[in-house]
Amino acid sequence: MMVKHTIHIKNMVCDRCIRVIREELEALEYTVLDIHLGHCVFTTDKPVDWDAVRRGLSSNGFELLEDESLQIINKVKSTIIDYIQNGDLEEDRQSLSDLLTSTIPRDYSSLSRLFSSVEGITIEKFYIRQKLERVKELLIYDQLTLSEIAYRLGYSSVQHLSNQFKKMIGLSPTDFKALRFPNRVALDKVTPHES
């Protein structure tokens, strides 16, 4: 008899992460039904070898989240990262609280308290740091103007983006772009201590 399992996974930040996890689970002969940033649903007709699952995830930089609070925090992070990387921020000016409560069945104040208590940073600051990492990425690609980047990421103006970038990164966007080897932080490594 096929049994369905849902797992929550830390450090998933992109489509490659999804592919790697799918390959790991399929190598263990599990059938992946649904996979998104932060979670996966699979079936199997045999007992799950949880140690093998943990090893496979760990060997690729992922972690199986078994604590409900950590699962919620991971869902907050995954939702924000996905929205910034794949969302339509220039068209969808949805508030951060609406975005999160529409995908996570909790009120925003409890999400915010939980996130801050565990991560040591507010959800809003995490969101800003993720947006700035996306700005860095787009500056490095050099395919959009700063004005286009500001618009795409939902900033009210280029000046607002530039001021926030300078305050958090320590350089203006123009100075950052001029660096020969600009410093970027992996999305799953953005912490309260990064600048």
Alpha-helical segments (H) within 6-107:
15-27, 50-58, 68-86, 96-103
Q: How many whole angstroms separate alpha carbon 154 and alpha carbon 130?
A: 13
Average pLDDT over all residues of the chain? 89
| Inter-residue contact 133 to 139 (CB < 8 Å) | no
- If residue 92 lies in a helix (H) or strand (E), which one and from where to where? none
Query: According to the model, what pLDDT value does residue 14 have?
Result: 86
Q: How many whole angstroms separate alpha carbon 153 and alpha carbon 164?
A: 13
Query: According to the model, what pLDDT value does residue 93 have?
Result: 62
Q: Which residues of the chain have pLDDT under 70?
A: 88-93, 180-195
Q: Write the pLDDT tens digit of every residue in 112-130.
A: 999 999 999 999 999 999 9
Domain 70-189: which CATH class? mainly alpha
Query: According to the model, what pLDDT value does residue 177 have?
Result: 86
**Residue ranges matching CATH 1.10.10.60 in the chain:** 70-189
pTM strictly above 0.85: no
**Residue ranges matching CATH 3.30.70.100 in the chain:** 3-66
Query: According to the model, what pLDDT value does residue 195 have?
Result: 42
Domain 3-66: which CATH class? alpha beta
Give 195: exposed, middle or buried? Use CB within 10 Å, 0-12, 13-18, 19+: exposed
